[in-house]
Every structure is written in structure tokens, then in C-alpha cells.
Structure 1
């Protein structure tokens, strides 16, 4: 009886691997199951990045199976240039000949070779990809260029099996005809009587399964040396310690053992690990182990790792604890009633006037004592000894904790509460209501120590640098314009754009430029390179910002009932500018969606509504 076709024959597609083969299999299963609505069937087996890509499609693309499949192929598959580059370098590595041929056809198809030239390209790549002796033997076959590909594969299969068949044990049998005695003359196996230099076991070091590992909490996926996983599928780019990008492969699930604990993970495979390291233990392994620490070269489970992290903006090195397991349960975003959104707080501060000063807590997080019963949860290992921290360690997503404590302390005095507005550990004091010295004394009463108060002129507030120019208090960028490498990943590009625009109330053309660069970035995963075109654009933008930074404007924004909203729209973007008393107070811009085909009048109306919404905040 024929086996029944079941739905679990299809593995979910996450964006990694051969999307073309996967789509063919899905189509075949749908045909066998007599499923007509393929457009609704395919999304059921999409996960991760692939599902996110599908959800970003327009309704028209989602309802059409052909369009949604084409979108997946374009986004996940290699572009023609990358595919051709891989095709040129493709070599036979001992896998079944049919598998090797299928990979050639896949890459040639992605490289956009037509039906006429496809067979010749496949045949030439197929023959030249074999070792020299097999390649020459195939080239000498009669009429090889007119031979059918199926026949050429058969010849290659025979030749490759002969080459591989020479490896193995030799057995000599002796005896007369008619069933004489048979004698097997096998070589006696070698018995090693020494000791492994690495693990101390009774084996040679080449047979030792204990490896040298590097614990890296900045690595999301563990990396394994290619000698342990000779055959992999799929490719991915990953960032090295020095910022360079390395092409790696993706392995199936691998079992790793650490101090008697075994975990199963899907690793990245590379042959370029540093200083003889065999495996880099990333967050995926540390997560399953429940946290690790390294003591005298050995990995121990349970103690929080202590790391030294450089903070370039303050020219300091912070001792940071890896609280990643706890952080997943701590709400760290600033969009609730406890920790105000930075841009909203900035609007409030700009309307306070100029008779204000800024008070900042001194070593804010180190002033937060931890209850003694919680000390065991802050254990660290330093120079061979175990310590428990009695103050809140760096590394916890604690803006919410800091904000709640500070707001509670300020609310203890009605006058102080009316005179102050806080954001994390920064406090703006309206000296028309209470002086900065009064606020400092109030904070000292509750054990909070502050720095000396600063005036706005020549100081900083919420990441903005302030300076009086021509009698008016002006703001400008508080951070330095970042430098970029020759190639960035999507993660790095988005970080650069965030640094350029940030929460600044006025950024002009820079907003839409950064949004457009992010949209045009190549790749689907965070670690994928963004491509030459995006790199050219981001470098041009950075050079322009260095010459004429649009992040600048008046600090003080009076609270008025009337203002002017300027708005406009094009087929690419919408932008609004809020003008108060003849001066720009704030601007904003948004890219239009790719599938936004509304009339320009509708887009202009939407821009006007966004401008009004900006004005009434």
C-alpha cells in the first residue's frame, strides 16, 4: 500500500536555505493534497524572517501565489551577481553527483541564464568542478558537448565511485576450491598506550573530542569550526571581532557538551576562528545552560559573567554584568506612564523657558542598594574569587527602575514635584518655583547624591548640546557624527542612521535620507551586508552632515495657541514642519509605502493630518 501524504512532510521555511526547492516541494504537496488555494497554503509554513517578509507584502501580492512566491525568491535568494560568483567557485566535494548537479542548476537559474545557454553553463561548470583527473576524463568523452546531461551525470557517477572505492580495509582470503578453509589476514589494530595532552584520556589528541571554546555574550549564534561539520547548507555573513565580515555556512542541529551538560543548537560554521579556537559559545548555548562563567580557562554554570565594556561617549570602561536572562522579563522600553518617551519629555522641557537648570545624579545606578536576600542573584567571579554585588550592577535594563525611584522621591514634596521634570536620572528644575539647591537638599534627604547643577547655556539636556548664539539659546547635535567602515551589515546601518537622526526635534532632509537608505539596504537578515549602493549613499550623507548638519534650532518653544503647519507630499515621502512665532519648532518626515498608490491629493491630506497631530502634542 502506498504511504499516505501528510502535511508535516513540509518543514517550515525561516528564510535560510534554498527557497526555490522548498517552494517546489510545497507546490507538489499541495497538488497531491488537491489544495487549490496555494496563496493561502504557503504562508502556513513560513516562520521567522520569511513570515515577516510575507506580512510586509501588500494585499494584492499576498492573494496571488505567483507574486508572493516571486517576492520570496527575490528577497531570500541570491541576486544574479552573487549567484554567478558562487557558481564560478563551486567545486565537487564528494557529495552525490546528483546533489552537485542540482546545486549548479539552482545557481545558474538564479544567475538568470536562459534556457538556451543554461544547459551549456551547467555542463561546463559540472565538468570543471571535479578534481583534475576526473575533469580531464570527462572532457575526453566522445561528443561530450552534444551529450545529454543525464548521460554525462551517469559517466561522472561511475568515475567518482571508482575514485572513492579505493579507500577501505584490505582482506586476503586463502583456500582451495570446493570449500577449503578460509583465512582472513587482517592487520592488527594499533593500540595507543599514551595519554591525551588536552583531556588526559587514553587516546591521541587527534581523536580528542574536547575542544577549545570561547565564551562570547556578544554573539547571538554559536560558531563551530568547519572541521567538525564538513557539509553544510546555506550561507550567511557574520561580523568578526575586528568588524570585518566573514562568509560562513549554516549547519543542522549540533550537540555540544559543556561540563557534563549537553545542548542542541543550530550553529554557524566557519574556518576562520581566532587563535586555534574550535567553537565560540554564543547566547543560544548560554541561554540553554542557564548562564556560565569562565574560571581559569574552565566554563562554570550559574555565575553571572562580568565583562568590561567601553563607553566611548564618556571615555569610560564599565564593569557590566550579563543580565540577558533577566532582561527578557524586564520591560525596558520607554513608552509607558512610568518612563516618559524621550521626545515627549524634550517637548515639555523646551516649553519650560530659560530660567531652568539641570541636575544629574552622580553614579546613579550605583546609588541603588540591593536587598540582602537578592545578593545571591548578583554573584560574579573576579580574579578567582566569588563576590556578590550589594548595589545594582550595570547590565540590567533598568531605566524603568531608576525612573520609578526618582519620581517617587520627587513626589514626596509638592513644591519640588511642581518644579521638576525628570527623565531616567536627569532632572530639569524650574527655578521660578524652586531653586536647584532646594532640589539637591531634598534628594540628599533620601540618600541620592547629585552633581553640581548646570545652566542650559554651555550645558547639555537629553542629548542636545546647548549654546547661546546672538542672544538666543540654540541646540545642536549632542553626539559625534559616526564614521563608517567600507561595508556595513543591516544592523550596523540601522544603528548609524539612528545615531544621525535620534530623537532630535529638527533634522530636516536628514530624516528622509536615512529612511530611504534603510529601505534600499540589501539583505533580509540583520547580519547581511547592505550592498554597495547603500554604502555609497550613507557615506555621502555623512560627508554632507559634517559640512552642514541640519540638526540645530531654537531651544525655547513658547506655549502658544496659534502656529503654522507646513506640509507636503510626493510619490516617495511626506514631510511636515511646525512653525511657532516665525521659527521652526519641530519637523518630521515619513516614507510612503511601496504599495501606496493613492492620489497625490490623498497623500497631501494625510501629511496635513500628521502635521496637525504634531502641533497638538
Structure 2
């Protein structure tokens, strides 16, 4: 068990006292734990290297990057995927690549112990690992005040993407591959991305959220729903789903007391746009 505390220097005394109390309690049951570590002096926490830079605690994967196992089966490949991104809150293009690889692995294998012998997929995995060794996209800020965050959302024919940032620092991103049989309109997919962005912000217990989207139609839907200025009108085939999504958005904002704003941006200025396309060199 590793006792580490995500806070400022002033919390160190209280954290040490808390550790001593817990240490005594664990000793009653013949259990042991490591000594507390001062993060500003450099520490390994949750699989990440935490260090101080310009007065701010930052984190990175460190020097250890998992290697591809010798015998490549679906089980070993999924384990490698988990070690590569499973413990990281933000990893930009790498998260997209891993999602695509997982889908590709499922397509070419039927059982967990089936050997992966697809030449194209193996080449893509190898190239991705080489790129990670050259430019690992995982460094980020360790201490985040998520009370007021910005959520960048986007969608494409391949997947949905959400990027949460605070003060210019991206502290979490996520993407969801769309089903291969998904035929819903892009405006509905963009609306789904907005709802997912709100849900992630709620996990951080945010009170103020500002949404950024590059889709004009969804921007008007969300802004009109939040302001209540006018009734949403649409004649597309999925209008019932669109109204249901907007009602869900309104309910989330009302139930959790969120202060939400929305801004229209260009795709070039949308960080979430990188999460909705397969990366290429």
C-alpha cells in the first residue's frame, strides 16, 4: 500500500500524522505499508512519476514503457494495452490508437488465447510503440482544481471525444468508438459527446463548466436549451432522440446545480478533434 497525498506543502504535517495513525491501525492486524513520500521531492505514485516544475506538481509516465510480449495473443495484447494507457488520465492520440487496436484485435481473434497473426495490426502496434518512445503524450499537471473546467467535445464517423482542461492544462481525456453498425446522424453523435463531457465533469465534482463544440447545430441546440429562450425545433428523422438528449442535458444541469456555458469554436482550435480520428504520421 502506498500512502501518498495529492496536495500542497502545507498538508504534509497533517498527511504524516494521518499516515502514523493508519500505520498503527494496520500494525494491529500485522499489516505494513510504505512510508509517506514528499511529492515535491519526486515520487512514484499510481504508476506515474510526480515531480515539481516551476512551482507546480507535474506527472509523467517515467522511463518505463511496457514492451510487446513474445507470444502475442488477445489476452497478452489487451494486458499490454492496459499497461500502456489504463492508469493515465490524459494521453491524447495514444488513447485513440489503443481503442482502434482493441477493436482490430477482436475482429481477427475469437478466443482470449488465440494468437494474433495479423501482419497489418502487428505493424501498427509496433509503429505506435516506437512513436511512444520518441514522444510520449502523457505528461500533465498533478494537482487540479476542477471547480471550474473547460470541456472540449467532438464527434466523427469513428468515435466521440472529450477533453477536460483547466487553466490551459489538459487533465483528462476520453474517447468512445462508435459501433461499426452505427448509422445515427453526426449531429446526434455530437450531442452525445456533449452529454459525455458533462458526465465526466460531474465525476470531478465541478460546479462551473464551459463547453466548447465545433458543430454549429449542436451549439444552437445546447445554448437554446440552457437559456430556455425558444423551443427546439428539428425535422430530422432522429428528432425524438435529439429532444431526449437535450432533456437529459437540462436535467443534469438542474439536478447538480451546474453553471454551464457553451462556445462555438473551429475544428482546428478544438483539442478533442485529435480524439476522433486515427492518428497518422
- In structure 2, what is the Cα distance between the partners aligned to 1:576 and 1:460? 27
Any idea what SS the aligned residue of 2:140 has?
Answer: strand
**Match for residue 130 of structure 2?**
543
Q: Are the aligned partners of 2:3 and 2:35 in contact in 1 as well (CA < 8 Å)?
A: no
Indicate how the Cα distance of structure 1 residues 604 and 436 shifts in structure 2: closer, same or farther if over 3 A, else same.
Answer: same
* Deviation digits for residues 343-372 of structure 1 (CA, Å, limit 9, x no counterpart): xxxxxxxxxxxxxxxxxxxxxxxxxxxxxx
- In structure 2, what is the Cα distance between the partners aligned to 1:435 and 1:606? 41
Are residue 568 (structure 1) and residue 154 (structure 2) matched?
Answer: yes
Q: Are the aligned partners of 2:89 and 2:173 in contact in 1 as well (CA < 8 Å)?
A: yes
Q: Are the aligned partners of 1:487 and 1:535 in contact in 2 as well (CA < 8 Å)?
A: no
Any idea what SS the aligned residue of 1:576 has?
Answer: strand
- In structure 2, what is the Cα distance between the partners aligned to 1:529 and 1:599? 37
- In structure 1, what is the Cα distance between the partners aligned to 2:35 and 2:156? 49
**Match for residue 439 of structure 1?**
19
Which of the two has higher C-alpha Rg?
1
Residue 453 of structure 1 and its aligned partner are, at CA, apart by: 2.0
Q: Which has the higher contact order (CA 8 A, sep 6+)?
A: 2
Q: Given the two structures, how large is their TM-score scaled by the length of structure 1? A: 0.30
Q: CA RMSD in A?
A: 2.3
- In structure 1, what is the Cα distance between the partners aligned to 2:172 and 2:115? 34
Indicate how the Cα distance of structure 1 residues 572 and 445 shifts in structure 2: closer, same or farther if over 3 A, else same.
Answer: closer
* Deviation digits for residues 64-100 of structure 1 (CA, Å, limit 9, x no counterpart): xxxxxxxxxxxxxxxxxxxxxxxxxxxxxxxxxxxxx
- In structure 2, what is the Cα distance between the partners aligned to 1:543 and 1:425? 31
**Match for residue 210 of structure 2?**
none
- In structure 2, what is the Cα distance between the partners aligned to 1:443 and 1:429? 19
Matches within 5 A, 1:223-242: none
- In structure 1, what is the Cα distance between the partners aligned to 2:198 and 2:191? 11
Q: Are the aligned partners of 1:488 and 1:535 in contact in 2 as well (CA < 8 Å)?
A: no
Indicate how the Cα distance of structure 1 residues 435 and 491 shifts in structure 2: closer, same or farther if over 3 A, else same.
Answer: closer
Matches within 5 A, 1:131-146: none
Q: 2:50 aligns with which of 466, 475, 481?
A: 466
Residue 580 of structure 1 and its aligned partner are, at CA, apart by: 1.3
Are residue 603 (structure 1) and residue 180 (structure 2) matched?
Answer: no
- In structure 1, what is the Cα distance between the partners aligned to 2:199 and 2:46? 23
Residue 482 of structure 1 and its aligned partner are, at CA, apart by: 2.0
**Match for residue 59 of structure 2?**
475
Q: 1:557 aligns with which of 119, 138, 144?
A: 144
Indicate how the Cα distance of structure 1 residues 440 and 571 shifts in structure 2: closer, same or farther if over 3 A, else same.
Answer: same
Residue 488 of structure 1 and its aligned partner are, at CA, apart by: 1.3
Q: Would you tell me which structure has more helix in proportion to its own residues? A: 2
* Deviation digits for residues 477-516 of structure 1 (CA, Å, limit 9, x no counterpart): 1572122257611111111111111121111111110110
Query: What are structure 1's unaligned runs of at least 5 residues?
Result: 1-423
Structure 1 stretches of 4+ with a deviation exceeding 6 A read: none
- In structure 2, what is the Cα distance between the partners aligned to 1:442 and 1:497? 34
Matches within 5 A, 1:163-202: none
Indicate how the Cα distance of structure 1 residues 519 and 437 shifts in structure 2: closer, same or farther if over 3 A, else same.
Answer: same
Q: 1:532 aligns with which of 108, 113, 119?
A: 119
- In structure 1, what is the Cα distance between the partners aligned to 2:88 and 2:171? 11
Q: Are the aligned partners of 1:486 and 1:535 in contact in 2 as well (CA < 8 Å)?
A: no
Equivalent pairs counted in the alignment come to 193
Any idea what SS the aligned residue of 1:434 has?
Answer: helix
**Match for residue 34 of structure 2?**
451
Q: Given the two structures, how large is their TM-score scaled by the length of structure 2? A: 0.63
- In structure 1, what is the Cα distance between the partners aligned to 2:70 and 2:19? 49
Indicate how the Cα distance of structure 1 residues 436 and 489 shifts in structure 2: closer, same or farther if over 3 A, else same.
Answer: same
